[in-house]
Amino acid sequence: MLTLYHFVALGAILFCIGLYGAISKKNAVAVLMGIEIMLNAVNITMVGFSFFNTVKPYSTYLTGQIFAIFIITVAAAEAAVALAMIISIYRKRSTVDVGEIDMMRW
Amino acid sequence: MGLYYDSWLILFSPLFAFVVIVFGTRMWDLFSRPVKATAAQIEEAHEESDIHYMEKEGPHGEEETLEEDEDPQVPYLTMGAKVSGYVAIVIMALACLYSWMLLLNTTGVLSIAPPLPTAGVTIFSYNWFVQSGGLVSYIVAFHIDTLAIAMMTVVTSVSLLVYFYSQGYMQNSAGYARFYAYLTLFTFSMLDIVFAQNFLVIFIGWELVGLSSYLLIGFWINKAARPAEDRPSPATASIEAFIANRVGDVGFIIGIMILFANTGTFDFATLAGSGAHGVAHAFAGNLGLLTLAMILVFCGAIGKSAQFPLYVWLPSAMEGPTPVSALIHAATMVAAGVYMVARTYPLYLAAGPQALLFVAWIGAFTAIFAATVALTQYDLKRILAFSTISQLGYMFVGLGVGGSLYGPGPGMFHLFTHAFFKALLFLCAGSVLHAMHHALHRETQDMRYMGGLARFMPITAVTFLVATLAISGFPLFSGFYSKDSIIGLTFDRGDYGLYIVTLVTAGMTAFYMLRAYILTFAGKGGSFGGLWGGPYRGAAGVAGQPWGRLEGDQGVAHEQEPHESPPTMTIPLILLAIASIVAGYWFGFYGYIWPGAPALNLGDILTDWKTWVGVVVAFIGLGWAYYLYAVVGWAKVGQVVYNNPTLNFLHRVTLHRFYISELYALIIRYGVLGLSHVEAAFDTYVVDGIVNGVAAAVRGAGRDLRHVETGRVQSYMVGFFGGVALLAVLVFVLVTFVK
């Protein structure tokens, strides 16, 4: 029997995996993938809450589910922008190593 | 009563004259001066400047000063300038007439108005502002009573004569109109003190007197200091006078504030009264504080009336024009301190005997100290300056020993008589200076260049002699009555210390005044046993003596004979000489200003042994001076003193006024300036250090902390999520353990 806890636990595990990937990977594409995982972890959590929460009356309006759809949309746009940036940086500097992309320091 | 209620006219008439001169006649004077100098004048100016140039460059020229620039002269006075003088004189004459009417009416000689109530009449009152919901009000009020009438008579009379005299003395001075404007302001300031009903108004007048004396002492702003004569420049002297008065005023204002904080009023009558605002009620059981307050108030008088620690400004104030010195010394400035103590006398009585004893001893010490200094001075005006300080000391002794019976009577009586003979002495000195300037073509105050002047200027000599006898306490002159009654009173009160000091001072006064007379107007070889005429020394100085001339004296090119001054100057002298004799015959003076005080009685005075002790002491002083300077001769006396090491040392010490000015200079240089160095260091290292330290700390922190900004997205992310995790833990802990 699936409960809310399964969803929340899955979301948390996925978020931590994504965070680890976003923080530790050197490749900018891998970092982007980590971020995508984190976004989807949040989506799972939201859908789970929306589905299982029967206390609050407004949960029947599917707020969490709609938010998940919004996030998927925004994530798609963000991924497109981020990939464009990565390609642009690669063209300029011949690398996508985020450790070397530090133009914004002091 | 209208006569009394309109007496504000006396107060405001000098102010009116001031306004008329400043905005009217002085403008007229300035605009009507010849715009373009004639060719002859330009050539003359060129010649003069060439001469000065040569003198400055010459081998002996380093002491030479530009005499013509020191007191800028105009070829002739314009009508505007003359009218300035006339306006001041006429207005002051009317004010003087009015105050004499008041005086004669209140003494009962005239009866044009009902008698003045004992408490006096408040002639003007204006509620300046009210504080604490009506609890404390600051009132500008003017009030006359017999004390004020006596004082205003002195002030207006002496002012009138000085104004009149200044026509001659300030002849062709470029600042003629300005001089009269300052004089009227000076008189107004003093009358403000005289009319004051409360401490607030008296303090305003007090500061105005300080301001106008500053303006007048520094009148010849271009004049340089004369180190050979130990004389400061007028600019320095005026600042010195202002600052010395400030020092006293600090005490004065603290004293006023103690009184005001405890009673809630400035009003003299209320303070002296027995009501809730009176000092008797407010300081009941705390008389020590009242004594302290009154001593602090007296500090103001110490500054203004040139008593011991703060007297140094008065000799320096001799740098002002001589009529100003007369005004300062007789009526307007130094009298303010005495008058203020007399005005607040009930408060001194309430404060107990210590406050008055303090006043008396400060006065006594100042009297003998200043008299000692005056013994050896060469400078005529400086002798008079120290004699004023000494006589003011007498006035404070008189105030100190007056007690509840005599009140301020003895002190004020001496102020009253002293005003006339001291004004006379100064105006005579001015006349002498005028003559000497004509003779030697330079400013000469040094008696070594005078001698035997009685032949040339008999009126000045006779009037000076009258004033000398009056100040010496010669029988039947005014000083005899006023001074000897103070000396006698000290004995009657059992203050034998004060008695000895004042008696010795009386002898010294007689000595130095007759010395000044003989050295100026007479000398060995003159008629009447050397008391009239005699050899005139002139530019040669005391011939054949190493001390006989100023150091660095280059002599005078074309010496002329001195001459008697014009009638504008001699008429005031004659009038003041008469006043110097008759002023002492107002025997009811004590009772006039302090109800219940006994009148002087000629029979009692002449049968009292103390009077004759005083007379004998005065005669010893006069006789010794006569013997030394008219019989033996100055040259010989000076030679003996010069060659005797002990006497020479004593002479040098008193001649340099006990080096008190030098001591003050040292204190200021090492004490005040040293302290200011410490303060400057505090400012540099502590105040600036804090400001600069904060800036340096911020800059250093920024320099070091900027390395946190790596520019790598991932490190920011660690920080961001680390922070979130920390907050989450915090929230968890708080929610779990802190309910």
Task: Give the nearest chain A residue to B704 (CA atoms).
Answer: A106
Torsion of CA B27, B155, B460, B91, to 10 degrees: 40
Taking phi over 0 as left and psi of -120 to 50 as alpha, with beta for the rest, B635 belongs to alpha
Residues of A in contact with B721 (CB under 8 A): 19, 23
Taking phi over 0 as left and psi of -120 to 50 as alpha, with beta for the rest, B558 belongs to beta
Query: Is A60 inside any structural domain?
Result: yes
Chain B interface includes A31 (CB < 8 A):
yes
What ipTM score was computed for the predicted complex, to two decimals? 0.85
Query: Is A6 inside any structural domain?
Result: no
Q: Is the pLDDT of residue A92 over 70?
A: yes
Pairwise pLDDT comparison (B541 vs B14), residue with the higher score: B14
Query: Is A106 inside any structural domain?
Result: no
Going by the DSSP 8-state scheme, the letter that residue A103 receives in this structure is: T
Query: Is A83 inside any structural domain?
Result: yes
Q: Is the pLDDT of residue B472 over 80?
A: yes
> What is chain A's length?
106
Q: Which of A100, A102, A103 to mutate to test the interface with B (most CBs of B within 10 A)?
A: A102
CB contact under 8 A, B718 and A103: no
Greatest C-alpha distance within chain A: 54
Confidence of residue B426 (pLDDT cuts 50, 70, 90): very high
User: What's at B479, amino acid-wise?
Assistant: G
CB contact under 8 A, A98 and B713: yes
List, in sequence order, the alpha helices (H) in B218-309.
234-263, 268-272, 279-282, 287-304
Q: Helices then strands (H, E): number in chain B?
A: 34, 2
CB contact under 8 A, A106 and B714: no
Instruction: Report pLDDT for A54.
Output: 62
Instruction: Report pLDDT for B68.
Output: 47
Chain A interface includes B709 (CB < 8 A):
yes
Pairwise pLDDT comparison (B282 vs B180), residue with the higher score: B180
Quick one: B603 exposed, middle or buried, by C-beta within 10 A (0-12, 13-18, 19+)? exposed
Residues of B in contact with A24 (CB under 8 A): 714
Chain A interface includes B702 (CB < 8 A):
no
CB contact under 8 A, B707 and A106: yes
Range of the domain at A78: 26-97
Query: Is A17 inside any structural domain?
Result: no
Chain A interface includes B711 (CB < 8 A):
yes
Query: Is A5 inside any structural domain?
Result: no
Greatest C-alpha distance within chain B: 121
Closest CA of chain B from A21, distance in Å: 10
| C-beta of residue B49 within 8 angstroms of C-beta of residue B68 | no
Query: Is A65 inside any structural domain?
Result: yes
Q: Which of B714, B716, B724 to mutate to test the interface with A (most CBs of A within 10 A)?
A: B714
Q: Is the pLDDT of residue B63 over 60?
A: no
* B82-131 tens-digit pLDDT: 999 999 999 999 999 999 999 998 888 888 888 888 888 898 888 888 87
CB contact under 8 A, B714 and A31: yes
Residues of A in contact with B719 (CB under 8 A): none
User: What's at A10, amino acid-wise?
Assistant: L
CB contact under 8 A, B709 and A106: yes
Closest CA of chain A from B692, distance in Å: 25
Here the CATH number for the domain that contains residue A37 is: 1.10.287.3510
Confidence of residue B47 (pLDDT cuts 50, 70, 90): low
Q: Is the pLDDT of residue B500 over 80?
A: yes
Give, in order, the Cα–Cα distances in Å from B456 to each of B322, B450, B478, B518, B522.
20, 11, 27, 14, 11
**How far is it, in rounded angstroms, from Cα B320 to Cα B238?**
8
Task: State how many domains chain A has.
Answer: 1
* B678-734 tens-digit pLDDT: 999 999 999 999 999 999 999 999 998 888 888 888 888 899 999 999 999 999 999
Who's near B613: CB < 8 A, 6+ residues apart?
A: B503
Query: Is A59 inside any structural domain?
Result: yes
Proportion of chain B above pLDDT 90, given as a percent: 41
- Put simply, the chain B residues between 714 and 733 with a CB less than 8 A from any chain A CB are 714, 717-718, 721
Q: What mean pLDDT is predicted for residues B48-74?
A: 50
* B343-379 tens-digit pLDDT: 999 999 988 888 999 999 999 999 999 999 999 898 9
Taking phi over 0 as left and psi of -120 to 50 as alpha, with beta for the rest, B125 belongs to beta
Helix B567-582 and helix B478-492, axial crossing angle in degrees, nearest 10: 40
Pairwise pLDDT comparison (B284 vs A54), residue with the higher score: B284
* B554-584 tens-digit pLDDT: 777 778 888 888 888 899 999 999 999 998 8
Instruction: Report pLDDT for B69.
Output: 55
Task: Give the nearest chain A residue to B714 (CA atoms).
Answer: A23
Confidence of residue B56 (pLDDT cuts 50, 70, 90): very low
Token pair recorded at residue B621: 């002083």
Torsion angles phi and psi, residue B212, rounded to 5: -70, -30
Q: Smallest Cα–Cα separation from B434: which of B552, B321, B534, B540?
A: B321
Torsion angles phi and psi, residue B635, rounded to 5: -55, -45
Token pair recorded at residue B31: 């605009």
Chain A interface includes B707 (CB < 8 A):
yes
Nearest CB to B711: which of A19, A22, A102? A102
Neighbours of B591 (CB within 10 A): 17
Residues of B in contact with A104 (CB under 8 A): 709, 711
Closest CA of chain B from A90, distance in Å: 16
User: What's at B364, amino acid-wise?
Assistant: A
* B177-211 tens-digit pLDDT: 999 999 999 999 999 999 999 899 999 999 999 99
Can you give the pTM of this predicted structure? 0.79
Q: Is the pLDDT of residue B70 over 70?
A: no
Instruction: Report pLDDT for B59.
Output: 43
